[in-house]
């Protein structure tokens, strides 16, 4: 009897809303008050964080999701659905892990860290997110993702109508890396590696600094009807490197190299390309189709078939670049334009540089982006 009284007293003194270890949520449930997780949590259903409620997850927590696929489409449905606020405070030493509870996990075992109309300052810091359908998903939400890893998801990250800041993250080995629309996104010191699509967006504003986009099998970075402000990027070893469709923006101080198809491909876009290294790309360094803008002070050398292809009818302003040669005939062979094919516009490659430019390649373009937190 004395033990029972002590236990009752202990439970009464436990901080309000703080969950016990091995907390389980089964079926459809909601958290009705601010809650803190700090150990192991099993989600066997859909857990909603309603508006006005905050879920805080502390260092070292492991959140596991069981697989439930009621319609047989191969996509797990269990997830956390956030309309309130999510604050995940992993640390380098004690990251927070979101993973599958299955013994033999596969991408898509569970749904997503799913934010809907969550305009609080959501934060995920030092997390590992794996085996989800969409590791992180947001709709009409604000979020900041820092020093986190998204891997082995069907889609690493996806959001719409959201404002998202991503800093120091690794998005690797997902089926597709990251896709978003109607969003404002700032990417810093983040690596997007070895997905099918690296980054794909429409109707969005994307600012990128010191990022690496490499080894993606379809496109590295694709924008449609969007704006890119890119600086000191490494876009390497993808099929296409940077692919803009009906978009605009600038790219500065970046390495665009060893992409199998085109380093930069512009369609109906307006783009300023200055001070970049564009080399070793298979079909062409730059393919320019019905676009406007300028290529200035770039090092455009050592690409496969052509340094620059003008596929459109208009002219291309490509003055003041280094082409790896100053010999007119050799330079002409590097450019495919109206001089080769009727109906195509001409490339103005005048005032070409006679020595390679001193490129303002930034830290990440010279040195790999520092590794984010390593997690087991």
Retrieve residue 357's tokens.
């430019």
Retrieve residue 48's tokens.
């909603």
Nearer to another protein, 8 or 367 (CB): 367
Applying CB under 8 A, among 79, 231, 261, 337 the residue interacting with another protein is 261
Q: CA 9, CA 272: separation in Å to the nearest integer?
A: 68
307-346 mask for another protein (x: CB under 8 A)? -----------------x----------------------
Retrieve residue 60's tokens.
């070292």
Applying CB under 8 A, among 214, 286, 299, 335 the residue interacting with another protein is 299
- Distance from the Cα of residue 4 to its chain's centroid: 53
> What kind and span of H or E run contains 164?
strand 163-167
Applying CB under 8 A, among 303, 310, 321, 364 the residue interacting with another protein is 303
Q: How many residues does the chain have?
A: 376
Interface with another protein, residue 52, by CB under 8 A: no
Retrieve residue 326's tokens.
């100053």
Nearer to another protein, 84 or 275 (CB): 275
Nearer to another protein, 353 or 375 (CB): 353
Applying CB under 8 A, among 181, 184, 186, 319 the residue interacting with another protein is 181
Nearer to another protein, 140 or 203 (CB): 203
Which of 23, 28, 89, 17 has its CA nearest to residue 53? 17
The DSSP string of 199-241 is EEEES-EEEEES-EEE--SSEEEEEES-EEEEES-EEESSSEE
Q: Which residues pair with 137 in a beta bridge?
A: 114, 158
Interface with another protein, residue 109, by CB under 8 A: no
Interface with another protein, residue 197, by CB under 8 A: yes
Nearer to another protein, 19 or 221 (CB): 221
Which of 185, 136, 144, 192 has its CA nearest to residue 161? 185
Applying CB under 8 A, among 95, 280, 293, 312 the residue interacting with another protein is 280
Q: Is residue 247 within 8 Å of residue 227, measured between CB atoms?
A: yes
Interface with another protein, residue 231, by CB under 8 A: no
Interface with another protein, residue 244, by CB under 8 A: no
- Residues of the shown chain interacting with another protein in the complex, contacts defined by CB under 8 A: 72-74, 158, 160, 176, 179, 181, 196-197, 200, 202-203, 217-218, 224, 239, 257-258, 260-261, 277, 279-280, 282-283, 299, 301-305, 324, 356-359, 361
């Amino acid at each position: 009897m004395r033990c029972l009284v002590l236990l009752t007293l202990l439970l009464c003194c436990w901080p309000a809303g703080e969950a016990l270890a091995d907390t389980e949520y089964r079926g459809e449930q909601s958290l009705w008050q601010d809650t803190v997780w700090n150990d192991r949590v099993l989600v066997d259903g859909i857990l909603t964080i309603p508006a006005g409620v905050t879920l805080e997850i502390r260092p070292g927590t492991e959140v596991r999701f069981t697989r439930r696929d009621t319609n047989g489409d191969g996509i797990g449905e269990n997830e956390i659905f956030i309309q309130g606020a999510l604050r995940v405070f992993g640390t380098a030493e004690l990251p927070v892990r979101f993973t599958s509870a299955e013994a033999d996990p596969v991408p898509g075992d569970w749904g997503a860290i799913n934010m809907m109309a969550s305009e609080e300052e959501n934060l995920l810091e030092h997390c590992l997110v794996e085996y989800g359908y969409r590791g992180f998903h947001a709709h009409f939400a604000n979020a900041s993702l820092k020093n986190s890893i998204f891997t082995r998801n069907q889609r690493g990250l996806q959001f719409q109508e959201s404002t998202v800041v991503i800093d120091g993250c690794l998005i690797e080995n997902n089926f597709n890396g990251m896709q978003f629309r109607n969003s404002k996104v700032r990417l810093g010191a983040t690596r997007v590696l070895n997905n099918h699509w690296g980054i794909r967006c429409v109707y969005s504003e994307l600012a990128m600094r010191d990022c690496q986009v490499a080894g993606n099998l379809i496109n590295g970075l694709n924008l449609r009807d969007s704006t890119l402000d890119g600086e000191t990027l490494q876009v390497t070893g993808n099929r296409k490197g940077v692919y803009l469709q009906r978009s605009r923006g600038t790219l500065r101080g970046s390495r665009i190299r060893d992409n199998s198809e085109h380093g930069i491909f512009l369609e109906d876009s307006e783009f300023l390309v200055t001070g970049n290294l564009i080399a070793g790309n298979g079909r062409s360094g730059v393919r320019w189709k019905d676009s406007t803008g300028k290529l200035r002070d770039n090092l455009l050398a050592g690409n496969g078939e052509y340094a620059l292809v003008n596929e459109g009818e208009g002219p291309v302003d490509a003055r003041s670049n280094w082409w790896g040669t100053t010999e007119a005939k050799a330079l002409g062979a590097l450019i495919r334009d109206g001089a080769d094919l009727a109906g195509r516009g001409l490339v103005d490659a005048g005032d070409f540089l006679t020595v390679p430019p001193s490129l303002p390649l930034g830290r990440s373009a010279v040195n790999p982006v520092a590794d984010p937190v390593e997690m087991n």
